[in-house]
């Protein structure tokens, strides 16, 4: 049974760097499962900088929506898989449904529950990076509040399904579980 790990924290807290270090420690065959989409030049540049920082030791798979299915498909191929990031995945899922549909939240969270179930059945360790978005002010618009609520519920669900949970603050990872 793998040791799945969730790493959370705020923006620029050091969570991705810590996740990369942790993943590298698990073996030579590494997969970076990326959920970001280069929808503008600035995001494309961010993705490029992340790829340069990781170097050639990683195989990068880009998948914005079908995370549980992709994890199940690549299970057993790598020493470890880094999923970066859960909250971008949630954003992709939320934007793929009608936010005014009362079932939108349930639809997105059903994907999260499918991910939690997939993680429990994996033979390959998975390290998940997510953002802690609920520590700020209450957002002023409905979509942002819905996103915050979904992210908080998703983080709780995934933390419960992982063996280890860390929070990164100012570049320092703290083990919670």
Closest CA to 85 of 133, 124, 40: 133
From 48, 50, 111, 113, the catalytic residue: 50
Q: What number of H helices and E strands is found in the chain?
A: 6, 7
Residue 50 appears among annotated catalytic residues: yes
- The tokens of 108 are what? 């997105």
Residues marked as catalytic: 50
């Amino acid at each position: 049974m793998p040791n799945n790990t969730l790493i959370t924290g705020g923006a620029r807290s050091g969570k991705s760097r810590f996740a990369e270090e942790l993943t590298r420690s698990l073996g030579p065959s590494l997969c970076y499962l990326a959920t970001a989409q280069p929808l503008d030049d600035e995001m494309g540049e961010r993705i490029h900088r992340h790829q340069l920082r990781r170097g050639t030791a990683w195989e990068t798979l880009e998948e914005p929506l079908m995370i549980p299915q992709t994890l199940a498909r690549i299970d057993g191929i790598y020493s470890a898989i880094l999923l970066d990031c859960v909250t971008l995945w949630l954003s992709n899922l939320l934007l793929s449904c009608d936010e005014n549909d009362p079932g939108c939240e349930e639809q997105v969270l059903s994907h999260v529950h499918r991910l939690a179930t997939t993680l429990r059945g994996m033979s390959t360790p998975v390290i998940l990076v997510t953002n802690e978005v609920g520590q700020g002010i209450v957002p002023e618009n409905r979509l942002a509040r819905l996103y915050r609520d979904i992210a908080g519920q998703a983080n709780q669900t995934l933390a419960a399904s992982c063996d280890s949970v860390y929070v990164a603050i100012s570049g320092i990872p703290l083990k919670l579980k």
